[in-house]
Every structure is written in C-alpha cells, then in structure tokens.
Amino acid sequence: MPDESADVLVTVQAQQRRAISQFLRSLTWLIAAGVLLRLTVRDALPVVAVLFYALPLPVLLGLATLRTGGAGLWQPRRSAWMWVGITSLLAVWCVTANYRRHVPETAPRSLRVLCWNAARAEGGWNDEVADVVRSEQPDIVALIEAGGWIEDLQEFWAAHCPEYEQVILDGAMLCLIRVRPGLSVGQGTSFPLSTGGSAGQVDILWDDAPLAVVLVDIKSNPLRHRADPLAALARYVDALADRPVMVLGDFNTPPESVHFRPLRVLHQEAFETVGDGYAPTWPLPIPVLHLDQVWTNRHVRLLHCIRRGTVQSDHRPVVAEITLTPSD
C-alpha cells in the first residue's frame, strides 16, 4: 500500500508539472503573438484583428507579470530574471503609449466638449447620469448609446439640462448644445458608415463661424472588420475640409489601428495631441482600450483633453477644450 500511494503521488505531481508547464508555454505564445502583431500588421488582416483587439498593452503587461510570477515559482532563476526584463520592457512600452502629461493651454475663446458612451443608461436615466454632464459644464455634449424612447430621452434632458438644445440622431446618438450668446444650432443629419456603424453631423455656428460636429458609433463586434466604416468616415469628413470639423464618439477601435490611417491624413486625435492622464476609456472599472476619441482637422486647435471616472457606464467620459484656428 505505501508503494502504491507513493506512485499515485508521483503521478499527480508529474501531471501538475505538465499542466503548469503547458500553462506557462501558452502564456509565452500569447504574449509573443500580441507583441508581434503590434510590431507588424496590427489589425490589417481580419483573421488576426480579434487577437490584436484582445491584447492591448495593459493586458500584455498583466500577462507578462503573471508569466514572471510563474517563472519565479516553477522555473530556474535565469528564466525568472529573463521574464523580469521582458515585463519591465513591456511596462515602459505600456506607460509610454498610454500616459500623457500636458499643461492645459488657454485661448481668448474656447468650447468645452464632453463625449460619453452612456451605455444606454442601463442603471436608469437618473440624476447621477445627468450629473456626469452637468459637472463638466460643457458647451457641446456627444452622447453615444443614449438609448431609450426618443420622447422619454427628450423629456429627461429637457428636465435635467434645460439650458441645452437637443439634436437626436439615428443610432441612439444625442447631441446637446448649450444655449449661450454666439452659439447656435443648425441642421442634424444622420448617415451610415458602410455596414459597420452609424454617424451623424450637427452643424453649429460659433460667433458666425461654422463648426461641423460629427458623432460616431462604430459597431463593437470584434469579428466585423473596421476598414470599411473608418474609410467611409474619412471620406465623409475629408469632404468637409474647408471648415472646422470635430469627429467624436465610440470608435470601438484603438487609435493604433491601421484603419485610422485615412482619417489621420487630415485629422489629429485629441488625447494623443494634448492629453493628460491615462488614455484607455473602456471597460470600467479597469479600462484597457482607448475606444472613445475626439478627432479634429486643421481648422480646430486642441487645448486640452482628459478622461473622467464614472459608475454610470462602462465607458469613461472624454472632456476636451477646443478653439478655432484663425481663418486663412
């Protein structure tokens, strides 16, 4: 009996070692795949795009930290130190890519903009949801996934933010514009982004200068390729290049995607340019992906961009300050 018990124990220990070894190898291959994708094709190919989206740098750093712990517990010291080095390099890469420090700039006149995916207010349209908007005192609000019945939505915002005009767009998007001297609202127009999302344009006059505000909601399905909707968006806003343009919303695509290249030709992303803090906006409470973005063309000068925390949605609100560049 003692010999049989010992044999069983040895067998169990061998199985545990094999399982741990397999787990560590899987982590190694996953980390290597994520790093390789970021250094090469990124999400250019549909077959690997899902893996690219699933392995942002904060996730890769977390996996590498776990792999380092496994090496320290179950592998030789040399392997453990190697993984300490790899994790340190990933930490530097993650911080460099996701953190910004920028001193807010000022201008004689500016607009404060709030962009927020409200996640259809699944907790209910209540005072706390309205407080997310009121606390920032924005001039322009872009609400993505506003959700609910249109009549109820209009009634809610009219009651809680009566100082704002409302423009409701297709795809459950809502734009609120503060009623103030020099700021007036024109037409709101909705349009599809190929088969991959919704968008809408709201024309605003600011001291008699036109400002085209384009709200965007790209479909979140990771299996749906982002090339077509982002190319359609770039073509649409490029046609507005003779005037100030601001494009904002939930792109469900990180800015490092190759599919933003057409948009980057004439536009810049606010947080990349004047951001302050941690870039990722989703999912709360531990955001790892920079999905909610504000883009502007050369006629708009970016002054500052920050993120806020909230418990009313799984997206962080994005706040930006802008002004218009002098006319040519």
- The structural domains of the chain, with segments of one domain joined by +, span 2-99, 103-324
Task: Write down the pTM of the prediction.
Answer: 0.94
pLDDT digits (tens, 9 = 90+) for 231-277: 999 999 999 999 999 999 999 999 999 999 999 999 999 999 999 99
- Write the DSSP string, 133-179: HHTT--SEEEEES--S-HHHHHHHHHHH-TTEEEEEETTTEEEEEE-
pLDDT at 303 over 80: yes
According to CATH, the superfamily of the domain at 103-324 is Endonuclease/exonuclease/phosphatase (3.60.10.10)
Percent of the chain's residues with pLDDT above 70: 96
How many Å apart are CA 27 and CA 241, to the nearest integer? 46
Percent of the chain's residues with pLDDT above 90: 86
Q: Rounded to an integer, what is the distance from CA 38 to the centroid of its chain?
A: 17
Q: Answer for the pair 139, 166: CB distance below 8 angstroms, yes or no.
A: no
SS3 100: strand
Q: Which long-range contacts (CB under 8 A, 24 or more apart) does 37-44 make?
A: 38/256, 41/258, 42/256, 42/257, 42/258, 43/226, 43/253, 43/257, 43/258, 43/259, 44/258, 44/259
pLDDT at 8 over 70: no
Of 237, 241, 231, 215, nearest to 294 by C-alpha is 215
Task: Supply the pLDDT for residue 152.
Answer: 87
* pLDDT, mean of residues 65-80: 94
* pLDDT, mean of residues 16-22: 90
pLDDT at 279 over 80: yes
How many Å apart are CA 269 and CA 152, to the nearest integer? 33
Task: Supply the pLDDT for residue 1.
Answer: 52
Q: How are strands ordered across the β-sheet holding 292-296?
A: 183-192, 197-206, 209-218, 245-250, 292-296, 268-269
Task: Supply the pLDDT for residue 9.
Answer: 60
Of 178, 185, 173, nearest to 140 by C-alpha is 178
